[in-house]
Chain A
């Protein structure tokens, strides 16, 4: 089972608040893989809206996404797409 880890810069203007956070969690929940997001050693479940909001990630800060499971590669690329896109989706 693949386990991948990647540091990604959050480009989205709203950071990981608001709609991007909700979108992130909705997309994360489509996958079977375990997804964790961390910043400054604080680690949360990437499938939890409460967790993501707790991190309070602002724009232009790096986060670490770790994906573990059968669909890891796809999950990571879709999630990366959301956080690294500058325009609001």
Chain B
């Protein structure tokens, strides 16, 4: 038995046989070609590029929908390499001149670049080499008609041991084939770690000697919470870990048992547990995890990675699909929220000194009613196919809400004139994520049909903290007394005007805050689908009265840290 230490990248315990994944390498034969074969070789090369491009875009879309835009952006660099004109032109020119098959020339050209880049000391270039390698292998695979390296052929479930896993490798992984990942290199924020977390499988990375110390077939215990890999454990160790693994599974199963039930407290107070999505095909995961609606449907992706603007029809088809799939459950579409950290390629947006305080979200939409109205028309048209609502991001005062509603009215009027059906009483809500809105919710409540609290922005604006800035990130405290008071104020104002309040920021999916928010009177919690079963379980374990007591006491604490510790302690007590 040996114990290897690495970096804990994704939590959980798995036990299984090791499967070693070697490096993906292709032997490319140097095949000479005839003059008349040149056009065919060029065509093969171009087809390989097109296939690879399709593959990467599909992968990017899938990763984006399963894991979010940030992970998907990894593939932007891949596309940049793939579409590189110099590389393509060089391959074609040399192919014509040297009369050798495309695969050989391509791998030669690629190698030349990698050799040059390897000599330059630059962190960014090192990453690009990995990208070039990854893309190059895809193209070669198509040129050679080879099978993708992957785990498709595995018959039993294994622990995957590799020097490193590329984004393309991990994207083909499935939970039912892989128990865990162990890699020689990588860190907490490496791609492998992100991927393992979203697949919900344990991972230990940066285990320097993993591939040299572990043999194929060795029995491995992977403890992704502690960052430990035990190779060929003795009976006693194995028994201990089996027990712990069973206990963890038991907890997960308890959550799953309630996933399709309502989120009702022991004293019969029902709240809504909704999901956040970005892409239409996420509805599958939403339904699987037992969400009873979509509390935040982001719509920026229509505008990403393209040069032209999306058409009304594109918007409409996507909204119709989601509305129909979720019917009769409700779907809340957030209108275009561009700016801040999300930029679009189609618009020449001036570089704001402080993008989060600049021309973004509803401000942008009100300045570009053409773009805004097109989206509203699509939402209205789709509203007859299900239970759709819409909400405006970043409302800072009632004038903006009025202007937005006015454009909505204009869109309705246009549709009426052209006799297009839509839901007349579609609800339009305001997102409350700016302190000025949070302080004036009594005014806003008169003209909004509902509120949705966007905690990420609300926290950063009210605490004046840019959480991307490492030096101040520690100040970003969701449970800061100021934030709690704002939330309390929002909910009270909404309830006295008889409208509902949801929350779609990260805070809503944080188990430790569930009781507190429930106690404050939140009507709807919207979160990533994976957390839904756990949140339901928590809500089903308390009475509203207990939760109110927790909120009452939390509001009297002086710091965010105290609130957080108090909430966690209460949660442990209740789940015991």
* A-B complex is real: yes
Give the one of A17, A50, A51, A53 with max B CB within 10 A.
A50
Report if A67 contacts B (CB, 8 A). no
CA distance A14 to B120 in the complex (A): 14
A35 to chain B, nearest CB (A): 10
Q: Which residues of B contact A21 (CB under 8 A)?
A: 124
Contact between B77 and A48 (Cβ–Cβ < 8 Å)? Answer: no
Report if B87 contacts A (CB, 8 A). yes
CA distance A43 to B325 in the complex (A): 54
Report if A18 contacts B (CB, 8 A). yes
Interface window among B16-24, B54-62, B78-86: B78-86
B179 to chain A, nearest CB (A): 37
CA distance A53 to B87 in the complex (A): 12
Contact between A49 and B116 (Cβ–Cβ < 8 Å)? Answer: no
Tell which of B113, B124, B345, B351 touches A50, judged by Cβ atoms closer than 8 Å.
B113
Q: Mark B115-156, 1 if CB is under 8 A from A, else 0.
A: 011001011110010001000000000000000000000000
Number of inter-chain CB pairs below 8 Å = 45
Closest chain B residue to A19 by CB distance? B124
Report if A72 contacts B (CB, 8 A). no
A77 to chain B, nearest CB (A): 12
Closest chain A residue to B89 by CB distance? A45
Q: Which residues of A contact B122 (CB under 8 A)?
A: 17-18
Contact between B86 and A22 (Cβ–Cβ < 8 Å)? Answer: no
Knowing A25-B80, A56-B120, A89-B351, the reply to whether A50 touches B86 (Cβ < 8 A) is yes
| Residues in A13-54 with C-beta less than 8 Å from chain B | 14, 17-19, 21-22, 25-26, 30, 44-45, 47-51, 53-54
Contact between B85 and A22 (Cβ–Cβ < 8 Å)? Answer: no
Tell which of A17, A19, A30, A49 touches B81, judged by Cβ atoms closer than 8 Å.
A49
Contact between B120 and A50 (Cβ–Cβ < 8 Å)? Answer: no
Knowing A54-B113, A56-B120, the reply to whether A49 touches B84 (Cβ < 8 A) is yes
Contact between B120 and A47 (Cβ–Cβ < 8 Å)? Answer: no
CA distance A76 to B257 in the complex (A): 62
B39 to chain A, nearest CB (A): 24
Closest chain A residue to B345 by CB distance? A26
B interface SS class:
helix
B423 to chain A, nearest CB (A): 40
CA distance A19 to B122 in the complex (A): 12
Contact between A48 and B124 (Cβ–Cβ < 8 Å)? Answer: no
Contact between B85 and A53 (Cβ–Cβ < 8 Å)? Answer: no
CA distance A17 to B124 in the complex (A): 7
CA distance A79 to B345 in the complex (A): 16
B305 to chain A, nearest CB (A): 11
Q: Which residues of A contact B345 (CB under 8 A)?
A: 26
Closest chain B residue to A28 by CB distance? B85
CA distance A26 to B83 in the complex (A): 11
CA distance A89 to B120 in the complex (A): 23
Contact between A48 and B85 (Cβ–Cβ < 8 Å)? Answer: yes
Tell which of A17, A51, A56, A89 touches B86, judged by Cβ atoms closer than 8 Å.
A51
Q: Which residues of B contact A53 (CB under 8 A)?
A: 117, 125, 128
B109 to chain A, nearest CB (A): 9
Contact between A18 and B124 (Cβ–Cβ < 8 Å)? Answer: yes
Contact between A47 and B85 (Cβ–Cβ < 8 Å)? Answer: yes
Knowing A44-B86, A54-B113, A89-B351, the reply to whether A49 touches B80 (Cβ < 8 A) is yes
B372 to chain A, nearest CB (A): 24
CA distance A62 to B449 in the complex (A): 58
Q: Which residues of B contact A25 (CB under 8 A)?
A: 80
Give the one of B86, B116, B132, B351 with max A CB within 10 A.
B86
Give the one of A19, A22, A49, A54 with max B CB within 10 A.
A49
Contact between A54 and B116 (Cβ–Cβ < 8 Å)? Answer: yes
Knowing A18-B124, A89-B351, the reply to whether A50 touches B77 (Cβ < 8 A) is no
B299 to chain A, nearest CB (A): 23
B75 to chain A, nearest CB (A): 13
Knowing A17-B124, A17-B125, A50-B81, the reply to whether A45 touches B86 (Cβ < 8 A) is yes
Tell which of A14, A48, A89 touches B87, judged by Cβ atoms closer than 8 Å.
A48
Q: Which residues of A contact B80 (CB under 8 A)?
A: 22, 25-26, 49
A32 to chain B, nearest CB (A): 13
Q: Mark B98-125, 1 if CB is under 8 A from A, else 0.
A: 0000000000000001001100101111
Contact between A50 and B125 (Cβ–Cβ < 8 Å)? Answer: no
Contact between B116 and A48 (Cβ–Cβ < 8 Å)? Answer: no
Give the one of B81, B120, B123, B128 with max A CB within 10 A.
B128
Q: Mark A57-87, 1 if CB is under 8 A from B, else 0.
A: 0000000000000000000000000000000
Q: Which residues of A contact B125 (CB under 8 A)?
A: 17, 53
A58 to chain B, nearest CB (A): 10
A73 to chain B, nearest CB (A): 16
CA distance A49 to B88 in the complex (A): 12
Contact between A48 and B86 (Cβ–Cβ < 8 Å)? Answer: yes
Q: Which residues of B contact A22 (CB under 8 A)?
A: 77, 80
CA distance A57 to B87 in the complex (A): 19
Q: Which residues of A contact B89 (CB under 8 A)?
A: 45
* B residues with CB within 8 A of A: 77, 80-81, 84-87, 89, 113, 116-117, 120, 122-125, 128, 132, 307, 345, 351
Please list 16 pairs of residues, one from A and one from B, whose beta carbons are closer than 8 Å in the complex, sorted by A's number.
A18-B122, A18-B123, A22-B77, A25-B80, A26-B80, A45-B86, A48-B85, A48-B86, A49-B84, A50-B84, A50-B87, A50-B113, A50-B132, A51-B84, A54-B117, A89-B351
* A residues with CB within 8 A of B: 14, 17-19, 21-22, 25-26, 30, 44-45, 47-51, 53-54, 56, 89
Across the A-B interface, the 3 shortest Cβ-Cβ residue pairs: A48-B86, A18-B124, A51-B86
